Amino acid sequence: MRLVLLGPPGAGKGTQAAQLAHRFGIPQISTGDILREHVQENTMLGVKARTFMDRGEYVPDDVVVEMVMERMQEPDAEKGFILDGFPRTVPQAEALEVALAEAGRPLSAVLKFSIADDMAVRRLTARWTCPNCKRTYNLEFKPPAQEGICDECGYVLERRADDDELTVRRRIEVYREQTASLERFYRDRGYLREVDAQAREADVTDRTMAILADIKD
């Protein structure tokens, strides 16, 4: 499977990408996670990216495209991949299209997760993330068994720097300005499948798997 997950911040792309990656045995390639690792390690790329990320704005296309192209060359991506958070602009989508066409490996599908803005804000402002295994929790809908501790690996949970309400609202706005047009891009090419993401995590996974059952690998 070669999948792209689209949808505004808070739609659950990361959570669903992790589920699908597990079920299909293919890597989840999250540009947000890769960028946050660079920020944490203070690399040149991380220092540059941080100024954009802290404001809820997009990191420049050339930086992100190069990063993804390199990641897709790694052996684990040979069987397929789930792109989570990429592409986010038309130039990124075009770069991906060219690279996949050259490799003779077109996308299988693009899944668009939809959710109302207020629900997205509620989800993200109460989100806590494990810095180690990347599992996410939500104080309101999905709290960890022990407060502040990851159920999976015991690490102390953190809040993402860009999950405060003001930045979340800006991220939703930026999605609308720059990424919503990708729906049309992929609909025109026959790839787009829509998933109502305003439900429990397990229900959204079931809906997604039902859609993918009809997709040729």
In this structure, what DSSP letter does residue 60 have?
P
Question: Which listed range, 31-39, 71-79, 129-137, 185-193, lies at the site for ligand AMP (CB under 6 A)?
Answer: 31-39
Q: How far apart are CA 213 and CA 27, in angstroms?
A: 19
Shortest distance (Å) from residue 174 CB to ligand AMP:
7
Shortest distance (Å) from residue 213 CB to ligand AMP:
27
The answer to whether the CB of 83 falls within 8 A of the CB of 3 is yes
| Residues annotated as part of the active site | 13, 88, 127, 160, 171
Shortest distance (Å) from residue 179 CB to ligand AMP:
9
What element of type H or E holds 186?
helix 181-188
By beta-carbon proximity to ligand AMP, the closer residue of 44 and 145 is 44
# residues near ligand AMP by CB under 6 A: 17
From candidates 4, 18, 20, 53, binder to ligand AMP by CB under 6 A: 53
φ and ψ at residue 169, rounded to 5 degrees: -65, -35
Q: How far apart are CA 136 and CA 201, in angstroms?
A: 12
By beta-carbon proximity to ligand AMP, the closer residue of 89 and 205 is 89
In this structure, what DSSP letter does residue 76 have?
G
In this structure, what DSSP letter does residue 137 have?
E
Q: Which residue number has the CB closest to ligand AMP?
A: 32
Q: How far apart are CA 65 and CA 186, in angstroms?
A: 18
Residues engaged in binding ligand AMP (CB under 6 A): 9, 31-32, 35, 52-53, 56-59, 64, 85-86, 88, 92, 162, 171
